[in-house]
Amino acid sequence: MSTLRFYAIKETLNRKPIKIEENERRSAIFGLNVFNEDTMRQYLTKEAFVSVMDATKNGSKIDRHVADHISTGMKEWAISKGATHYTHWFQPLTGTTAEKHDAFFEPIGNGRAIEKFGGGQLVQQEPDASSFPNGGIRNTFEARGYTAWDPTSPAFIYGTTLCIPTVFVSYTGEALDYKTPLLRALQAVDTAAVDVCKYFDKNIKKVNASLGWEQEYFLIDSALAASRPDIVLTGRTMLGHAPAKGQQLDDHYFGTIPSRAMQFMRDLETECMLLGIPVKTRHNEVAPNQFELAPVFDEANLAVDHNSLLMDLMHKVGERHHLKVLFHEKPFKGVNGSGKHNNWSLSTDTGVNLFSPGKTPMSNLQFLTFFINAIKAVNDHEEIVRAAIASASNDHRLGANEAPPAIVSVFIGEQLTNVLNELQNVTNGKLSPEEKTDLKLNVVGKIPEILLDNTDRNRTSSFAFTGNKFEFRAVGSKANCANPMTVLNTIMARQLIDFKIEVDALIKDKNLKKDEAIFNVLREYIKLSQNVLFEGNGYGEEWEIEAEKRGLSNHKTTPEALKAKISDKAIKLFDDLGVMNRVESEARYEIEMEDYIMRIQIESRVLGDIARNHIVPVAVRYQNILIKNVKGLKDIYGDDFKKFGQEQLNLIEEISEHIASINSNVTLMIDERRTANKIEEIDKKAEAYCFRVKPFFDDIRYHCDKLELLVDDEIWPLTKYRELLFTK
């Protein structure tokens, strides 16, 4: 093994950055591989074009014979760009993307062939879906799954394949993917938000949710990655002693990007441009070899697709540069982990960002309405929000030693806190003309100037308002953004529906004016949302104590957090809004619990194997060297040998103790695994893995890492942290 380690280091040291030519302006190549509006105009009949546009903007159905026109145009375009195959591209609940390629090529007899792609093939396909996770849905209904075209996300060419974004559902209509519930949630928030917008502007007909994700990741040389079985099989290092130098000098953050990483980024960005992914920023992150990239935000469904595509693309481009991309939330102990901030906002078809204050008191009242409703939504559903980001790998950040905490809280900054405090004093019922004027001039009217110089940024909050958007920071770097986006938009829809009912009731029953009614309801919402609002240090222990007093949840592990997904409250929430029915909610819970179990099971096996079959043998080998040395000393010095061999004797003992601890812990861990595997109920099984199997990881690691410090570097089998993190 140690030969593999040194071979990998040598390979890495010999690498040269790969030259990337950028001959054209990025704006010139942007979207060249996307079947976007411009391309459609060129390749589609008028009727087909209008039909797709209508489907994209208003969700209208596409007629079958029009679909034939569309597929023909799409095929012509794709072939002109060198595509040979097409695929329905979807996001099953495995967390990655799925594609099965079919050739356009089709024999027509007499030794001849044509390129064919019909409307039917565009609109619907039936992949053999039996090996995708379904949480019992297909068994229950004995139904097959099919994929159906989602015209709101444009088709694109990836390599030589035309990819058609699709939803993946069972024949009985249950969602088997991430996209279906997201589309339903976006529909729900659209309808609910438009209804509320009507208080302020009758012209608003559509509200879109926007998402701007920030993707963090690590890059390490592919040879170094391949030399570590834990990285290969689990995406993270399960052992390894901290290097003498980590991130304590803060010399990586925003520093010069290392050359190989830089070339990788340029290559990646070019590919992103072609695929219409509007990536804009790139920089070093806090930990060594950690980076971030972010696009300009987009409509949420498209942004989710872009992020899924990007993650796939990063692996592919990484291969060209001999770099392994690690999306795991915590690949290395002792240095920062990775997240994926989800910047979320709502905007109208009239071009107004509803989380952005406007120029007039009325538009600011609109801002406050959406702003306060968003806070109330998170307040009332914090546990469901927490569940949306739960995963085995994200547990290493949330609630572990790292931020943000597992507690969901909202940070809004001092100035907006003051505004909300003032609004709490609004008179109950009708407002006097003086009070109205005062509110308009001194509270609502002051908002824009306040926000412009609001640079208040609390990095420890899981959900922070950052001027014109909410930034959900607790999302895992590996996660599919659809999950948190579905939840945020659903709870917002629920909240806005309730808000409208309450305001309408005050107008009708209490005879209040519209703005009076809105102020009255907002006042109560602010009072009711105090628990979730927190401006202090989210990493501090005091916050955990305070949060508990407030009754906020603090689920540090996935099995605990996921339970909120099948609470009566959650099932009703998603069902009432048509986002997921009970079967779908329960299926997702089961799939995610199962995923958790599998991941901990794999990690446990990997760790057991490395500890016993890689570390212990090497420790024994080194111990034998020491024993030989001591024996030699005895030969020379007789009974005096201890004078010269005491250190060696101590080492021999120390090594034995660590070996014994490793072996006994691995045995105990395997026993616990056996017991856990016999458990039928999924939640009990997940708990067993979480609380009985996983705790051994730290113990085993501790002793292995101690051995790393004792054993001769020459024979140590695992590539060390300093080599993984600092060889460029």
The footprint of Mg ion (CB under 5 A) covers 341
Choose which of 174, 214, 271, 687 interacts with ligand ADP (CB under 6 A).
Answer: 214
Alpha-carbon dihedral sign for residues 312, 317, 322, 328: negative
Instruction: Tell me the backbone φ, ψ of residue 137, rounded to 5 degrees.
Output: -60, -50
Tokens of 626: 């020491």
At closest approach, how far in Å is the CB of 353 from ligand ADP? Answer: 5
345 binds, among ligand ADP, Mg ion, none (CB under 5 to 8 A by kind): ligand ADP
Give the nearest residue (CB) to ligand ADP: 212
At closest approach, how far in Å is the CB of 345 from ligand ADP? Answer: 3
Q: Is 285 in the site for ligand ADP (CB under 6 A)?
A: no
Tokens of 314: 């990063």
278 binds, among ligand ADP, Mg ion, none (CB under 5 to 8 A by kind): none
At closest approach, how far in Å is the CB of 526 from ligand ADP? Answer: 23
295 binds, among ligand ADP, Mg ion, none (CB under 5 to 8 A by kind): ligand ADP
Q: Could you tell me if 288 and 331 are in contact, meaning their C-beta atoms sit under 8 angstroms apart?
A: no
Task: Count Cα neighbours of 486 within 13 Å in the Cβ-side half-sphere.
Answer: 29
At closest approach, how far in Å is the CB of 463 from Mg ion? Answer: 12
Tokens of 225: 């990655």
At closest approach, how far in Å is the CB of 294 from ligand ADP? Answer: 4
Choose which of 94, 353, 537, 567 interacts with ligand ADP (CB under 6 A).
Answer: 353
At closest approach, how far in Å is the CB of 670 from Mg ion? Answer: 43
Round to whole Å and give the CA distance between 294 and 312. Answer: 15
Q: Is 454 in the site for ligand ADP (CB under 6 A)?
A: no
Tokens of 149: 């075209």
Side chain identity at residue 452, one-letter code? L
At closest approach, how far in Å is the CB of 485 from ligand ADP? Answer: 11
Q: Could you tell me if 238 and 699 are in contact, meaning their C-beta atoms sit under 8 angstroms apart?
A: no
Site residues (CB under 6 A) for ligand ADP, limited to 487-516:
none
Q: What is the SS3 assignment for 504?
A: helix
Q: Is 291 in the site for ligand ADP (CB under 6 A)?
A: no
Q: Could you tell me if 682 and 559 are in contact, meaning their C-beta atoms sit under 8 angstroms apart?
A: no
Which residue stretch of 230-238, 288-296, 378-386, 578-586 sits at the interface with ligand ADP (rule: CB under 6 A)?
288-296
What torsion, rounded to 10 degrees, do the Cα atoms 261, 341, 694, 407 define?
150
Torsion-angle region of residue 109: left (phi > 0), alpha (psi -120 to 50) or beta?
left
Choose which of 84, 417, 468, 629 interacts with ligand ADP (CB under 6 A).
Answer: 468
- End-to-end distance of the chain based on CA atoms, in angstroms? 22
Size of the site for ligand ADP (CB under 6 A): 14
Choose which of 31, 95, 154, 212 interacts with ligand ADP (CB under 6 A).
Answer: 212
Rg for the chain, CA atoms, rounded:
29
Q: Which residues pair with 89 in a beta bridge?
A: 165
At closest approach, how far in Å is the CB of 214 from Mg ion? Answer: 5
330 binds, among Mg ion, ligand ADP, none (CB under 5 to 8 A by kind): none
Q: At what angle do helices 414-423 and 514-528 cross, to 10 degrees?
A: 120
Specify the residue, 281 or 442, whose C-beta has the smaller distance to ligand ADP.
281
Specify the residue, 231 or 474, whose C-beta has the smaller distance to Mg ion.
474
Interface residues toward ligand ADP, by CB under 6 A: 210, 212, 214, 294-297, 343-345, 353, 466, 468-469
